[in-house]
Structure 1
Amino acid sequence: MRIAIVTDAWSPQVNGVVRTLQSVRAELEKMGHEVLVISPDLFHSMPCPTYPEIRLAFASTNAVGAMLEEFSPQAVHLATEGPVCIAARRWCLQRDFPFTTAYHTQFPDYVSARTGVNPEWVWRYIKWFHGPAQAILAATPSIAATLRAHGLTRLRDWGRGVDLATFADARPDAAIRALPGPVMLYVGRVAVEKNIEAFLTVAHPGSNVVVGDGPALASLKAKFPDVHFLGPKFGADLAAAYAAADVFVFPSKTDTFGLVMIEALAAGTPIAAFPVTGPIDVLTPQVGAMADDLDIAIANALTRDRAACAAYGQTFTWTASARQFLQALVPIVDDEAVAA
């Protein structure tokens, strides 16, 4: 099948959306499908205000439409709610071409955290964008319930996976392992909406380690000089950081899933988190702990068995994720295309 994936999030951005789309594309191509990705790097762009590493593309309907027409897709998926996908959405609606969308991020909460805007105002835009979709892919039951509560009901499940070749049986980073324990690790974008200060202000003794980059990095470095900020890590180096930690702390209250949690689990590291969307859908009592007080969650997570964490984390595969993605496309393509 010829599948067009349109997205406003792509490399060199480093986030869960990009990793998900890249991993699923690779799996789909292994299955024999032809995948076209239309992304911001194909257009002129400008830095997003307050978030310069995200580029806002100047993508016209004509330009995006020309790419789609040349590819002649049998299915179109719009991954994000930005300008590239808006152009593709307009092209699809003009031609009565069905499409699917995905709700990757708690966009209303992100905008509220950065600007103070009432998130319900942003929900009006979310409902407008996703409303015409034949299916909206949601990562967890909690996210599906949130979308349903806002009147979006054409929902399909789309879970996430782990690159087991990289994260399973990783060798711990010796320098991180040598820090005074317990080693408490955060991995992800260093931005206000990730609620990282809740992690950096915990009273639990040990070493706080942050892996990642983002607009809040400089201010957090200045405010928390005792924290070990290691910058971004990838591949085997990232897996080694996960494996070296005694507990992975996930302070975000705005994520839809939390891909980093299952990566950490696959490396054998238990999770401490707030009881919110993402953690409540992903974690079990055997592999993590949730509490409104992160100190309590950390203390409880440190008692979890690392072998159980690894076994559970390694049940999440990108092959399964890609199959769910593909099944969400089935209602909008013909039987012959699906069989391909």
Structure 2
Amino acid sequence: METLKIAFYTDSYLPSRDGVVTSIINTRKELERRGHEVYIFASGGRQTAALAKKDKRLFVIKGMQFNRYPQYTMGFINKESTKALDIMPDIIHAHTPFSAGLFGYKASVQLNTKFIGTFHTMVFSDEAISAYFTNNRAAIKLSKFVVMRYLKWFYSKTDNVIAPTVYVKNILKNAGLKNIKVIPTGVDFNSMRIEKKEQARKKLGLKSKDKIILYFGRVSKEKNIELIIKAAKLLYSAGFKLIIAGSGPYTKDLIHLSKSIGNKNVIFAGFIKEEDIPLYYAAADILCNPSTFETQGIVNLYAAFYKVPVLLPERSAQEEMLKYSKCGEKFNAHSIKDLVEKANYVYDNTNKYKFNGVIKEFDISRAVDKLMAIYS
């Protein structure tokens, strides 16, 4: 098989961790395992630039960080942003429609190279606009219109748009985009570390009898974590502890909310080191990500590996994984009552849930097979 040079463009990268970064790392690793060359063009600051000293295929486009969301950088044109002209990649793949993505598009035009774009983030949603820009209703409406027009222009320049789920494909299709392919973000399950629940709980200082609901991910407003914080008292009555594992700009707000409610069963674990991530999944009884903002929900795949059933918001991209295995339940993302009822049901019926179908469908090798069909 022909060896390809592939350039990924992204506005978020290590040491930050989010779904986009996870997708890039997993995909790069599998592509390189198959013998391809993958180059990363990432907007970033000094910490990302430090990584480039050890990674000769990482080029950092320095720029301006967002104060409230420092994991995102608006890159400015510099010599690193034009390095693709020297590398001459066979494929340019934008994982963002913004600054780095624009550099990727420009390079694809100059090199007459195939240009692919993955739609990772619901940047046009009310939740995203209110979290990142403004809470003014009129301004949100105007911003949504402008963002949608821009996204339609950007992705119309691609040879293919990749949507992680059918849910996202339908949104993009309704916006007038064409050439949309559904390729979920895959996970390298073979490289994941197995942890036993009892040992994981002991290491985390949790009791074997604890009933644990885990939220794992970035702590930001659009994630709808408020719902489970507000549900904590009712969950406490049912014997549950709630662990919020992760950091982000909304942490202080949620701690204040939890204290004002008088919650006694909420643990804010903060940033989780890479080596400790398996402990939290293995220790949990249920994983709950109440966000309707997700384009897929990678954390649910990690939960499946540890055989932890999931609670997923209905009418969202996350619920799509239930087609492959009955690995959890759906709930109304606006109803505390429904969340608590479903949490009790899942805990009482843990043995009914199956995970093998999810593991098979979302394995990284399967995802990259589909990606290579587009690249070729």
Partner of 1:267: 306
Give the whole-Å Cα distance in 2 for the aligned partners of 1:162 and 1:23: 6
- The match for 2:62 is 44
- Distance, in Å, in 2 between the alignment partners of 1:84 and 1:75 is 15
| Structure 2 match to 1:131 | 156
Given the two structures, how large is their TM-score scaled by the length of structure 1?
0.89
Residues 177 and 245 of structure 1 are in contact (CA less than 8 Å); yes or no, is this contact kept in structure 2? no
Instruction: Report the Cα offset of residue 308 of structure 1.
Output: 4.3
2:226 aligned with 1:197: yes
Q: Whole-Å Cα distance in 1 between the matches of residues 354 and 14 of structure 2?
A: 30
For 1:88-103, list aligned pairs within 5 A. 88-94=104-110, 96-103=112-119
8 Å Cα contact 1:167-1:236 kept in structure 2: no
* Greater relative contact order, per chain length (Cα 8 Å cut-off, separation 6+): 1
CA contact (8 A) 1:140 1:257 kept: yes
Q: CA deviation at 1:235?
A: 4.1
SS in 2 for 1:108: coil
Matches of 2:252 and 2:208, distance apart in 1: 22
- CA distance in 2 between partners of 1:73 and 1:95 (Å): 8
Name the CA distance, whole Å, in 2 between partners of 1:235 and 1:314: 21
Please report how far the alpha carbon of residue 234 of structure 1 lies from its aligned counterpart in structure 2 after TM superposition: 4.3
Shift of 1:166: 5.2
Letter of the aligned partner of 2:249 in structure 1?
P
Name the counterpart of 2:340.
295
Q: CA 1:234–1:301 in structure 2 vs 1: closer, same or farther (change >3 Å)?
A: farther
What percentage of aligned pairs have identical amino acids?
23
Compute the displacement of 1:254 (Å): 0.7
State yes or no: 1:56 paired with 2:62: no
Q: What per-residue deviation string (whole Å, max 9, x for no partner) do you get for residues 269-319 of structure 1?
A: 101121032222112572111121322332232244458444344222111
Residue 140 of structure 1: how far off its partner (Å): 0.6
- Aligned-partner residue type, residue 79 of structure 1: H
Give 1:123 shift.
Answer: 1.1
Task: Tell whether 2:178 aligns with 1:153.
Answer: yes
Aligned residues: 328
* Deviation, structure 1 residue 264: 0.8
Q: Aligned-residue CA RMSD in angstroms?
A: 2.1
1:338 aligns with none
Of 263, 279, 288, the match for 2:318: 279
Give distance in 1, aligned partners of 2:189 and 2:211: 25
Structure 1 residues 313 and 237, CA, compared in 2 at 3 Å: closer, same or farther? Answer: farther
Counterpart of 1:334 in structure 2 is none
Q: What is residue 19 of structure 2 aligned with on the other side?
A: 16
Find the aligned partners of 1:84 and 1:160 in 2 and give their Cα distance. Answer: 20
Alpha-carbon spacing, 1:47–1:305, altered in 2? closer, same or farther (3 Å): same
Tell me what 1:336 maps to.
none
Gaps of 5+ in 2: 45-59, 333-337
The residue type paired with residue 331 of structure 2 is: A
1:223 and 2:257 aligned: yes
Alpha carbons 1:287, 1:304 under 8 Å: kept:
no
Aligned counterpart in structure 2 of residue 34 of structure 1, from 10, 33, 37: 37
Asked if structure 2 preserves the Cα contact closer than 8 Å seen for 1:187 and 1:211, the reply is: yes
